[in-house]
Every structure is written in C-alpha cells, then in structure tokens.
Amino acid sequence: MRHTRIVVTRYGGPEVLRVLEEACPEPGLGQVRVKVHAAGVSLPDVLARQGIHPETPVPPFTPGWDLVGEVDRLGPGVSGFERGQVVAAMPISGAYAEFVCLPQGELVPVPPGLDAAEAVSLVLNYITAYQMLHRSAKVQPGQRALVHGAAGGVGTALLQLGRLAGLELYGTCSERGAPAVSGLGATPIDYRRQDAVAEVLRLSGGGVDAVFDPIGGSHLWASRGALRPGGKVVGYGLATSLRGEGLTSSRPGRRQRFRGTAAFGLYILGGWLLPGRRRVVPYSIQTLKRLKPDWFREDLAALLNLLAQGRIRPLIAHRLPLAEARRAQELLEQGGVVGKIVLVCGPSPGVVK
C-alpha cells in the first residue's frame, strides 16, 4: 500500500515543498501506525521549512506539528489501543502525511464524533493557550488580558478560553480580523492604526493583568507597558529574533535562538529588578511537554471534553487537501488568516467516527 507524504527538500520558500508518493511506513517496536485525518498548519512549520526554527530537522523531512487520525496498525509490544480508535498527537515534525508511525506514548485518545479539523486545532493552538492562561499567567476571574495576534490560531484560542475563565479581553488584530475578535467577546485594537499599549491602557483604565505576546524581541518589553502592577507578559514566540537578516549559516535558527534567548533573559531579569512587579515569563509548548508530559495529556483531554460539550469551537480558516500543503503555507505567510489552516486527508475531512 502506498501513501502521500509532503517533503521539505531543502531550506527555502514554499517551492521547496514536494508531494511524495511512497510505500506506507511500518510500525516498529512500541509504535502505532496512524491514518491521518487532519494535520495543522502553523508558523513553526513555516520556520522549519525556512531552516530557522530551533527544532528544524535536516532536509529532507516532513513538516507538521500536530495531527488527528485513527489507529491503523499496532507494532510489536503495543497495548491499550485498537484499530479504528481516534487519537491525537504532537510529533513536532512528520504530520503532513497520510500515514505516520508514532510511539504509543505520544498518542492521546479523542472522543468519537468530533470534527477532525476542530480537534487538531486543540493540539498545538489550544494547549498553548490553555497552559499560558492557567499554568503560566495563572489568571483569575475578573482579571483583564491583552492578546496580541488575536485573530490567529492561538489568539482565537486565547479569547475563547479566556472568556471561559471569566476574563475581560482585548485583542490586537488587523481591520479584517476585528469582527472575529469582537465576536469572541474581546475588544479589538487595530495594531496598524493605533498604539496598542496606549489604547489598552485607556480602555482598561490602568492596564491589564496579563499580556500574551507571540512576537518576541523588543515587542515583549513594549507589552510590559500595558501591565498593571503584579501583571505578567507571557512570551511564546521568537519570530522576530529567528527571522534574522543576512544570515549565512545552514541552520540559522540555532544561532538566532541564542540571541533571542539572551534578549529574553534580559527582559525576564528586568521584570524582576525594576519596580512595579511587572514580569516577563517565557512559554514553550514543546519544552513543557518534555518536562511535564502528564500536563500535556491532561490539558489536551480537558480541551477535547470542552469541544465535545460545545463549550469551545475552533475557527477554521481553510480546509485544504494534503497535496495543497504549499498553498496552505503560502496563505499563512501572507498574513491576515483568521483561525487555523488545516490539511485534510481522504475524501471526507469532517467528523471522525
């Protein structure tokens, strides 16, 4: 049996993505072969393709951080799973494929009857949002929060989960994303036309308790200005640091990671030393997953239950066939995407039975 897999042939633009037809992989000891129904498309996928994400594999490799599918074949020594069972995973790379072999410990059961594209949105985006809210910022009902990039995949997740947590929310976005942001119960702030920090200080009457910042670099320190005393900026992206100019290294992300991390360290130190108790704290989903794997499983299970109960509803910007991975990444790079872009496998990418 053969299957389709997307391959990054070398570091570069969307043109380096290739559609490969090959024999299906066979699960090894302790592995499960998963038939993928939906794979998420995210900024880390784009950064990996460009060779500037710290966890970028060496080409050729298959991108894709998150997936939802069904158990297709069990390898030797696997127990606790059965064929046809719906599962989710965050392999960090490899999800852009019709079939993927993963260690059984990476798989989290998914309740039946959920939409595959909505379920896969939880794996990276919603866990990131959930853990930043409840494990990093430790928000409380009645507090105020500012979400940068509020119309994106993680941003809309933060707004939905923040509303469930009883927060008063503000979100930076473009004019195009404003209806989605306001529709999720937040006050939109047009970052292109307004000074976001000044505007949130005016609207909130003195600042917010938490800011969620995916931009990184000096933007983190600017975000600190929106805090009231005792507040936190949770930084979860180093895109501005990683996308350096004039780089010649074949793995520039590794070099830029240290520059970005050093700057982040200074912001963290400054938050502790300067008056006002306005902290800057880092968040990395892959780091926390490695340090606290049980948290990842617990949080994903909780989010899947919220989805099954209809209490959250991920916004899906586009559902594209797996073979259109290049177009998916091009759309993401163009900006203005409201919600999550998802690659789907098979003729029926909707509800997973």
Given this model, what pLDDT does residue 270 score? 58
Q: Is residue 349 part of a domain?
A: no
Domains in the chain, number = 2
Contact 63, 18 (CB under 8 A): no
Give yes or no for residue 18 having a pLDDT over 90. Answer: yes
What are the Cα distances from residue 130, in Å, to 17, 53, 300, 325?
32, 23, 9, 27
* Predicted confidence (pLDDT) per residue in 287-325, tens digit: 999 999 999 999 999 999 999 999 999 999 999 999 999
Which of these, 252, 22, 232, 39, lies nearest to 137 by C-alpha position? 232
Given this model, what pLDDT does residue 347 score? 58
Given this model, what pLDDT does residue 52 score? 87
Q: Hey, which bits of 123-251 come out as E strands? A: 144-147, 168-173, 187-190, 208-213, 227-235
Q: Is residue 33 part of a domain?
A: yes
Does 86 lie in the same domain as 32? yes
Residue found under tokens 């320190």? 221
Q: Is residue 336 part of a domain?
A: yes
Does 82 lie in the same domain as 176? no
Average pLDDT of every residue of the chain: 90
Q: Is residue 98 part of a domain?
A: yes
Instruction: Label residues 60-91 b or e (16+ Cβ within 10 Å = b).
Output: ebbbbbbbbbbbbbbbeebeeeeeebbbbbbb
Contact 124, 90 (CB under 8 A): yes
270: CATH? 3.40.50.720
Given this model, what pLDDT does residue 53 score? 86
Classify residue 27 as exposed, middle or buried by CB count within 10 Å of its CB (0-12, 13-18, 19+): buried
* Predicted confidence (pLDDT) per residue in 59-99, tens digit: 999 999 999 999 999 999 999 999 999 999 999 999 999 99
Does 168 lie in the same domain as 109? no
Does 151 lie in the same domain as 275? yes
Does 194 lie in the same domain as 108? no
Give yes or no for residue 342 having a pLDDT over 60. Answer: yes
- Cis check for the bond before 59: say yes or no (omega within 30 of 0): no
Contact 281, 232 (CB under 8 A): yes
179 — pLDDT class (breaks 50, 70, 90): very high
Does 312 lie in the same domain as 274? no
Give yes or no for residue 223 having a pLDDT over 80. Answer: yes
| Cα distance between residue 135 and residue 299, in whole Å | 10
Given this model, what pLDDT does residue 277 score? 76
Given this model, what pLDDT does residue 339 score? 93
| Cα distance between residue 27 and residue 221, in whole Å | 47
Q: Hey, which bits of the chain come out as E strands? A: 2-8, 17-23, 31-41, 67-74, 86-89, 99-103, 108-109, 144-147, 168-173, 187-190, 208-213, 227-235, 279-282, 316-321, 340-344
Q: Tell me which residue range forms the domain holding 152.
A: 140-283
* Predicted confidence (pLDDT) per residue in 188-211, tens digit: 999 999 999 999 999 999 999 999
Give yes or no for residue 45 having a pLDDT over 90. Answer: yes
231 — pLDDT class (breaks 50, 70, 90): very high
Q: Is residue 289 part of a domain?
A: no
Q: Is residue 194 part of a domain?
A: yes
Does 224 lie in the same domain as 192? yes
pTM here is 0.89
Contact 33, 100 (CB under 8 A): yes
Q: Is residue 110 part of a domain?
A: yes
Classify residue 141 as exposed, middle or buried by CB count within 10 Å of its CB (0-12, 13-18, 19+): exposed
* Predicted confidence (pLDDT) per residue in 111-153, tens digit: 999 999 999 999 999 999 999 999 999 999 999 999 999 999 9
Residue 107: strand pairing partners: none
Does 263 lie in the same domain as 152? yes
39: CATH? 3.90.180.10
SS (H, E, C) 331-347: HHHHCCCCEEEEEECCC
| Cα distance between residue 241 and residue 237, in whole Å | 9
Given this model, what pLDDT does residue 266 score? 60
Does 24 lie in the same domain as 82? yes
Structure-block tokens of residue 76: 């030797």
| Cα distance between residue 276 and residue 256, in whole Å | 30
Q: What are phi and psi of 307, to 5 degrees?
A: -65, -45
Does 34 lie in the same domain as 106? yes
* Predicted confidence (pLDDT) per residue in 234-286, tens digit: 999 755 544 443 222 344 444 444 455 555 566 565 556 465 678 999 999 99
Does 329 lie in the same domain as 275? no
